[in-house]
Amino acid sequence: MKLENILKAVSPLQVIGDENLEVTGIHMDSRMVKNGFMFVAVKGTQTDGHNYIPKAIENGATVIVCEQLPEKQETHITYVQLADTEDAVGKLATTFYGDPTSKLDLIGVTGTNGKTTIATLLYNMFRSFGYKVGLVSTVCNYIDGEAIPTEHTTPDPITLNQLLGRMADEGCKYAFMEVSSHSVVQKRISGLRFVGGIFTNITRDHLDYHKTFENYLKAKKAFFDGLPKQAFALTNADDKNGLVMTQNTKAKVATYSLHTMCDFKGKVLEDSFDGMLLDINNREVNVQFIGRFNASNLLAVYGAACLLGKKPEDVLLKLSTLRPVCGRFDAKRSPKGYTAIVDYAHTPDALVNVLETIHEVLRGRGHVITVVGAGGNRDKGKRPLMAQESVKRSDKVIITSDNPRFEEPQDIINDMLNGLNKAEMKKVISIVDRKEAIRTACMLAQPQDVILVAGKGHETYQDVKGVKSHFDDKEVLDEIFKGEQ
């Protein structure tokens, strides 16, 4: 694409050099630059991209986009000076990749919990309506069924626009995307046109990055502040900050709730480990999901689908066929009659949340056995707390390994056990081998009991000393269930 066409997306302070160049690619990382690329220098949290301009040129960049011009300029290079390169990079990338959001409808989901669940369910639902659809999510990105692995919840602006560009080229009509708070602050979504935004909830998280809850909230709110007037902003009226999110948006606000009057009102009529019976806007629907928080997620999905123009009765029909997202409160009944739930809960808070939901549904009719470990080379402070929260809400806890990485598995287990007093220790056994730990839980379980296998969710590996060997909690359970038949 010609440089002069890409530059229409931004307002340069000055351009030095040839604007008629053909740009072959664009990147903000000098290490990824190839011949004929545009390199955009961005100030980051660790270093300043401006330091890598010489490296980018060495790798073949012919256009340098920056805030400060280098003192020594090369004659064969075009320099573009801009006031805010972090904001510009998304706009330049989206133009370079053919303005994908002018060709498909992009819907963003933000909030502390539930983003992956809601975005994935919308992706599955709209595919089953017969559309080609894209998904940008923590677990994996998809271009209508084609899996593209990811390392982020919301990728960097180059990767993101390249992905959306491919979705548009391959005829996707919709794309559903998780919008992390990091991505809003770092303007990874700059230049994208959303037709809708969904808010789930906000609780304390990521304060290592945002420093205060207030900043975290502001980051999420900025996404809604930036939505255009034609878009919808669907918010959770049950969250204390649900209406705060949308108070300054230009978009059309709609609300969902399990408790108050709103546009999309739901109620849990019945719940069990097989699913729930919900009332949504005075229509009953059976769903294959467990727990009040999932009722809330399903309301968001229902609301968004209706706002995208689908008929409520068609949406309800699809809702009843949807299955939980891999590793998110993913329940299976064993031939012996107990239930096993695989969940990605890997923080004290998440364990509280999941275990309380289990008790809400169990209502004292069985015991709860939790299998849990903590990751190596990660926050050590959470280890004793994870053990405490698990023991408080379980009849038996089996402490085991979860990606020990470069630490000794037994040391991590000991850190967890250090959080427990003598009485609590009576409920606990520790088994280093995760497969054995799950097997033991299954042996101990009686019909009606619930086993929570926490921490790994969708992960399909165990990371030991830098080697990722295949390991899948759900596969292990399937194998055990086969033996029970």
Ligand X SMILES: CC(=O)N[C@H]1[C@@H](OP(=O)(O)OP(=O)(O)OC[C@H]2O[C@@H](n3ccc(=O)[nH]c3=O)[C@H](O)[C@@H]2O)O[C@H](CO)[C@@H](O)[C@@H]1O[C@H](C)C(=O)N[C@@H](C)C(=O)N[C@H](CCC(=O)O)C(=O)O
Ligand Y SMILES: N[C@H](CCC[C@H](N)C(=O)O)C(=O)O
Residue ranges for the known binding site are 30, 111-117, 153-154, 180, 186, 188, 378, 402-405, 455, 459
User: Distance from first CA to last CA of the chain, Å, rounded?
Assistant: 61
Residue in 368, 347, 301 with CA at minimum distance from that of residue 116: 301
In 119-241, beta strands by DSSP E = 133-136, 141-143, 146-148, 174-178, 194-199, 232-236
User: Identity (one letter) of the amino acid at 265?
Assistant: K
Which residue among 249, 257, 334, 353 contacts ligand ATP (CB under 6 A)?
353
For position 200 contacting ligand X by CB under 6 A, the verdict is no
For position 103 contacting ligand X by CB under 6 A, the verdict is no
Q: Closest separation between CB of residue 190 and ligand X, Å?
A: 12
DSSP-assigned letters across all residues of 392-458: HT-SEEEE--S--BTS-HHHHHHHHHTT--HHHHTTEEE-SSHHHHHHHHHHH--TT-EEEEES-TT
Choices 122-130, 143-151, 437-445, 454-462 (CB under 6 A): range interacting with ligand Y: 454-462
Torsion of CA 154, 231, 185, 328, to 10 degrees: -40
Q: Within 324-376, where are the H helices?
A: 348-362
For position 455 contacting ligand Y by CB under 6 A, the verdict is yes
Q: Which does 183 bind (CB under 5 to 8 A by kind): ligand Y, ligand ATP, ligand X, none?
A: ligand X
For position 30 contacting ligand X by CB under 6 A, the verdict is yes
Q: Give 134's strand partners.
A: 143, 175
DSSP-assigned letters across all residues of 252-297: EEEEEESSS--SEEEEEEEEETTEEEEEETTEEEEES--SHHHHHH
Residues 126-155 within binding reach of Mg ion (CB under 5 A): 138, 153
Q: Which is nearer to ligand Y, 150 or 286 (CB)?
A: 150
Residues 282-311 within binding reach of ligand X (CB under 6 A): none
Which residue among 78, 124, 183, 249 contacts ligand X (CB under 6 A)?
183
Using DSSP's 3-state secondary structure scheme, residue 59 falls into coil
Q: Which is nearer to ligand Y, 17 or 455 (CB)?
A: 455
For position 375 contacting ligand Y by CB under 6 A, the verdict is yes
Binding-site residues for meso-2,6-diaminopimelate = 378, 402-405, 455, 459
Q: Which does 201 bind (CB under 5 to 8 A by kind): ligand X, ligand Y, ligand ATP, none?
A: ligand ATP
Residue in 9, 8, 38 with CA at minimum distance from that of residue 21: 38
For position 255 contacting Mg ion by CB under 5 A, the verdict is no
Question: Beta strands 141-143 and 133-136: pairing type?
Answer: antiparallel
For position 348 contacting ligand ATP by CB under 6 A, the verdict is no
455 backbone φψ class: left, alpha, beta (φ>0; ψ -120 to 50): left
Which residue among 141, 161, 296, 339 contacts ligand ATP (CB under 6 A)?
296
Main-chain phi, psi angles of 287, to 5 degrees? -125, 155
For position 178 contacting ligand Y by CB under 6 A, the verdict is no
Structure tokens at 443: 């042996």
Q: Which does 329 bind (CB under 5 to 8 A by kind): Mg ion, ligand ATP, ligand X, none?
A: ligand ATP
For position 390 contacting ligand ATP by CB under 6 A, the verdict is no
Q: Decide: 130 and 149 in contact? Cβ < 8 Å.
A: no
Residues 120-149 within binding reach of ligand X (CB under 6 A): 138
Binding site for ligand Y (CB under 6 A): 346, 375, 378, 402-403, 455-456, 459
* Residue ranges in contact with ligand X by CB under 6 A: 28-31, 42, 44-47, 49, 52, 138, 152-154, 156, 180, 182-183, 186, 188, 209
Enumerate binding residues for ligand ATP (CB under 6 A): 113-117, 138, 153, 178, 200-201, 293, 296-297, 328-329, 343-345, 350, 353-354
